[in-house]
Structure 1
Amino acid sequence: MIAFRYLSRELLITAAAVSAALLVIIMSGRFIKYLAQAAQGALDPSVLLMIMGFRIPGFLQLILPLGLFLGILLAYGRLYLDSEMLVLSATGMSGQQLLLYTLAPAALVALLSGWLSLSLTPQGIVRVTQILNEQSALTEFDTLVPGRFQSMKGGSRVTYSETLSNQRKELGGVFISDRAAPRGSSGAKSSDISVLVAQSGHQELQPDGSRYLILQNGYRYDGTPGQADYRILQYDSYGVLLPKPEPVSSIGSREEALPTAALWGSTQPQHQAELQWRLSIPLLVFVVTFLAVPLSRVNPRQGRFIKLLPAILLYMAYLALLIFIRGALYKGRLPAAIGLWWVHGLFFALGLLLLYQERLHLSFSRRRAARVPA
């Protein structure tokens, strides 16, 4: 029992540290993407943390199996390197007993991964999709930030407001630059630019649902950069149609947002593929445990990282094959009865082969020695 607690503690601490590092890396990259959309006015900065919070279950369901896999390799590799595994083996702990000890924390990780995969991740996708749909319905006026040049329409339109009222109704010190299509013959590199400046402005909703920014007391400049043919127009009131920001793509497919209960009993290939994928996440945890325990066995003279790269490549092949077969199952190219299960069976058999390879090699050597005449 002491050995079990010691091994479980070492394994869980290492797996948690690896999973936390991977989560920070993945969330940082995703947060930068959303932050860029917020800077362009496609997202309200106030919803960024909410979006990232709902995305965490989807990240964790794939990070936890990898974190456990690397945790076993690193934790047990250190024990082999420090000859602690040799001491445990001398006290009577076999490879099968080590595997049984490892399956206990693996079961805990599998339960957490299954909860994320079957329940929290679909709910998070639904909430993020709702937020993104709400954001895609916002106009340029709704996402305007005072004191910042804001790019819209793929960078062809730049808007600036010096001040903005708390109710987002009145603007002060307005600047709008809009680049039109190239003028002249095909292939011309110059393009027309319209620049609007105004002392103030406000939003106005028309009966047809369109929104206009009504600018007051300003100028409009039309022309081509590098040419002295600008037109200047002074106005007391000028209306500018407010375009909607570019639609924000939702995350995941429609099936990924469905609750797990809606997938049970469905005969649609898409539903079968999604259900098997969700069930594969906790099953993946147990299979990688059977792979990682024998792969963590290292020679102290070789170092603890000698098998790390081949093990990671093996895990990547496992996950890539699951994703590939999931796509084939989604398109109806494979029957649901076969689905993803044969992939798990293949790598489970590989894990058993790695686990018993030393015993098989020793048995084969003994048979060869017995056949040699004295």
Structure 2
Amino acid sequence: MIVFRYLSREVLVTLSAVSAVLLVIIMSGRFIKYLAQAAAGLLDPGSLFLIMGFRLPGFLQLILPLGLFLGILLAYGRLYLESEMTVLSATGMSQQRLFVYTLFPATLVALLVAWLSLGLAPQGANQFQLLLNKQDALTEFDTLEPGRFQSLRDGTRVTYTEKLSDDRVNLAGVFISQKNEATGNKDRGISVLVAEKGRQEIKPDGNRYLILDNGYRYDGNPGQANYRIIKYDTYGVLLPKPDVSDEVTDRDAISTANLMGSDDVRSHAELQWRLSLPLLVFIVTLMAVPLSRVNPRQGRFLKLLPAILLYMAYLTILIAARGALEKGKLPPALGLWWVHGIFLAIGLGLLYWEPLRLKMASRRYALEVTRG
């Protein structure tokens, strides 16, 4: 029991450290991406941390199996390097028994991954898509920041204001550049509006207008001298209506219960993917235990690179099989299970190869002694 607690603690501590590092790396990359979208006016800056919170379960369900795999390799590799595993082997600790001990932390991780993949991650993805739908319905005034040029999502209009009131209604020092739609083969050029001030008005029919005061409008094509200049006292610009959608279309945002009741091939692929992640935990544990065995003279990182390549091959084939299943190239009955079967056989081969090799070597030695 003491050995069991010691090994479990080593694996769980290393798993936590590795998973935390991987999570920080992935979350940082995604946060930078969303931050760039917020800087471009595509997202509300105040919702960035909420978005990251919704995406966290989806990240964890993929990070934890890799964290466990690397945790076993690093924790047991250190024990082999410091000859602690040699002492345990002398007391009867076999590879199979070590694997049984490792199943306890692996089961904890598998249960956590199952909770994430079957329940929490779809809920987070659902809330994430609803939030994006609301972000798509934002107008320029909802994301406009004073002193910064801001482009619309389709890139047809660039807006700038020197000052903006707290209620986002009144503006000062307004600049708007809009690309006009082409008529046939004729380029309509651009229109530039400048005004001392402006305000936003919402009519009873729901239409939103930007009313500009004391300004100029310039129409023409860049590089040509035939610009038309119009001075105005009041100018109204119709703003696009926000279109809020509550529809969730992403498969990863559909609940597991709804996937089970669906006959769609893509739904079957998504369901098998979610079930594959907890199963992945046990199979990578089976592969990691024998791969962690190293010679103290060789160092603990000798098998780390081949082990990571094996894990990446497993995950890559699994993702490719998921894509083939979604396209109908694989029967649902075969699905993703054949991938797990292949790497289960590899794991069993790795686990029993070393004891079998030692047993055969001892038999050859015994025969040589007998003949001698």
TM-score (norm 2): 0.90
Shift of 1:225: 4.2
Equivalent in 281, 290, 295 of residue 294 of structure 1: 290
How many Å separate the matches in 1 of 2:222 and 2:29? 37
What residue in structure 1 maps to residue 171 of structure 2? 171
Q: Which residue of 2 aligns with 1:159?
A: 159
- Say whether 1:233 aligns with 2:230: yes
The one-letter code of the counterpart of 2:299 is G
Given residue 168 of structure 1, which amino acid in structure 2 is its aligned partner?
Answer: R
Letter in 2 for 1:106: A
Aligned partners of 1:140 and 1:243 also within 8 Å: no
Q: Is 1:321 aligned with 2:317?
A: yes
In 1, Cα distance between the equivalents of 2:81 and 2:215? 76
The corresponding residue for 1:95 is 95
Counterpart check, 1:70 vs 2:70: yes
Aligned to 2:16: 16
CA RMSD of aligned residues (A): 2.7
> Secondary structure at 1:356's aligned position in 2?
helix
Letter in 2 for 1:365: A
Alignment of 1:146 with 2:146, yes or no, is yes
Alpha-carbon distance, 1:312 to partner? 0.8
- Identify the match of residue 202 of structure 1 among 191, 199, 202: 199
Equivalent position of 1:54 in the other structure: 54
Q: Deviations over 1:328-351 (max 9, x none)?
A: 222333222222222112111111
Is structure 2 residue 265 aligned with structure 1 residue 263? no
1:204-223 pair list within 5 angstroms: 204-206=201-203, 209-223=206-220
**Closer/same/farther in 2, CA of residues 309 and 323 from structure 1, 3 Å limit:** same
Q: Give 1:339's aligned residue.
A: 335
Aligned residue type for 2:134? E
Q: Alpha carbons of 1:100 and 1:356: their partners in 2 closer, same or farther (altered >3 Å)? A: same
- Structure 1 gaps of 5+ residues are none
Report the TM-score, using the length of structure 1 for normalisation: 0.90
CA 1:180 to 1:69, structure 2 compared with 1: closer, same or farther past 3 Å? Answer: same
Distance 1:123 1:140 in 2: 29
- Over 3 Å counting, the alpha-carbon distance change for 1:30 and 1:364 in structure 2 is same
Separation in 2, partners of 1:137, 1:206: 18
Q: Post-superposition shift, 1:156? A: 4.6
- Matched with 2:353 is 357
Which 10-residue stretch deviates more, 177-186 or 204-213?
177-186
How far, CA to CA, are the matches of 1:350 and 1:210 in structure 2?
Answer: 64
Gaps of 5+ in 2: none
Partner of 1:130: 130
Q: Give the drift of 1:274.
A: 1.6
